[in-house]
Structure formats: structure tokens, C-alpha cells
Structure 1
Amino acid sequence: FNDFDLESQFDFLAVKDGDSPDSPILGTFTGAEVPSHLTSNSHILRLEFQADHSMSGRGFNITYNTFGHNECPDPGIPINARRFGDNFQLGSSISVICEEGFIKTQGTETITCILMDGKVMWSGPIPKCGAPCGGHFSAPSGVILSPGWPGYYKDSLNCEWVIEAEPGHSIK
């Protein structure tokens, strides 16, 4: 999932593992949080989108890739991050570095394609980067972003940032 914004609780995207309406559900999604990557257990994936008669969101942007049995699925390039490595074969690793102003909100910097319980998979969740709610900054320069940027921030937030320069310096 590259982008996701559906009217919360009323519009849904269901992802099913197979071609039938009765296939097992891998996930049902609503709202504005971008879902994690999904991997099918078969060679067919079914997406069912339902929207009601009222409000609408931006919708969704999904990139899919097929892959062989000795490689991990393409983890994509996380939003607000740079990915290093494009080999997804068993034993290979990729790294993700958050863009300036963002911090890692899920996963570790490096994940490796491994074999676990007979399945080829990444060693951990695909890293995600987001804007933090508050923090302490002491670098000579930096970027501060509202939580959720470039999207909308959530309700009922109370964030505080402190910027500290070396003694004798000012901040602009």
C-alpha cells in the first residue's frame, strides 16, 4: 500500500487470499492509516472495495509484485524514507533510512529475507517512518513536522518540541 484514505467505518477495502468471494480474508481496511504489506498464500489475490453514499476519501494506491518461491516479496519503498538494496533473494538484506524530520515508527533499519517454518519471508515488519509528536533537538539544523505530515494530524494531540543550541548561539 502506497497511500490509503477511505471514509472511516463506512468505506472498506477487503483483501482476500483467493479468487472467490468466500476466500479467507487477509485484511479489511478503513480510515486513513496506510496498511502494512500483505502477502498471498496462493497465486491469486482478490480485492473488494465498498463505499457508501456519503463522504469519500482520496482512495488508495496499491503497488503489487509477484515473486518466486526463493525470494521475498518486494517490500516497496516506505513513505518518507529511502530504501537501500533491491535484491530480495533468500539471505539478502535491505535497509531503510527515514527522511529528515521523520523517525522509524515500525521495524528496524535492516531486514533480511529468511526461511521460517517453510516460508520465505522478511525477518521483521517492513520499516515505516512518521513524524513524531514532540522531541528534543540539539543538532545545528533540522526539520520539525507535525504528526502525520504530509497527511492530516490526529485529534486530541498535545506535542512539545525543544530546540537547544550550543551556549552563545541563537536559533532561527
Structure 2
Amino acid sequence: MLQSGDIAPPFSLPDADMEIFDLASVAGKHHVVLYFYPRDRTPGCTLQAADFSDHEDDFTRHGCIVVGVSPDDCLTHAEFRDEEGLSIRLLSDIDKEVCQLYGVWQQKEVDGVKKMGVRRSTFIIDKNGTIRHAFYDVAPRGHAAAVFDLVKKLESDNAD
């Protein structure tokens, strides 16, 4: 599992518009909130994506980009984004390579059945590409606000 102080593994993934998001391309320019979620259109995933979208301007004012990653394909992301009015970028990891790279593709037990799935997780990555905070088994409600507080603190720490 990745922890605070680790270098964020580099990756490139397509978003809902099939445009590539490359983590290395924002290095030195933006902090990144990278969150992993199981799939589009589930109640928790919808709440989390809507919450981050509702506060996207706040994150942007603090030099931060928010991106969500799930194994859903680009078309599913585009439909989800449009149906829910989401503004954050949703990245498609259909091969689960980035989920594995970040250690969030794990065996889970649901109703007594073991299967592989995404562990809902969030990483706050600073402008230098260092993971400053890593959260696993995230509860969607209120998570965006808690993450925003840490991003604000990250900016004030850099100002010192």
C-alpha cells in the first residue's frame, strides 16, 4: 500500500472524452487529488463524484486538480458525467493497471462472495509528485470537504 511520503506512480489514462490525462504533465504545476472508486452510477460513487464536482472551483483556486478513476470505460464515464452534471475528470482504467499500481485493486467479500474490486481510496499528491496523504476504505459522505481542508493546508505549508 502506498503511504504518505511515497512518490506517486506515474500513469496516463483516457478520460470520458477519450483525452489522455498524464500525471507527469501536471508535475510542478498542480497538486492532484486522485481518487479511486468501484464504478459509475452506484449511490456512494455518485455522491462522491458530485461532492468533488460541487467543490471543483475551490480545489482549482488552491492549485489542485481532482480526478476520479474506475474500471468503467470512457463511454460509461461520459454518460455518468452528463447524467449527473459532473465537472471533474473521470479516468478509465479498464485493464485495472493503475488500480493495481496504486494497490487499490483487491479481493473483497460481498455477501459472503469473494471477488476482485476497487478499494475506495484517495491520494493527495503534491506538485512534486509526492503522496502527502493516502486514504483507504473511504466513506463518500463528507470526504471531499475533508480532502479540501488538507489541500488548503498543503498550500499554506508551501507558502511558509
Larger relative contact order, structure 1 or 2 (CA cutoff 8 Å, min sep 6): 2
TM > 0.5: no
Which one has the bigger helix percentage? Answer: 2
What TM-score do you get using the length of structure 1 for normalisation? 0.28
What TM-score do you get using the length of structure 2 for normalisation? 0.29
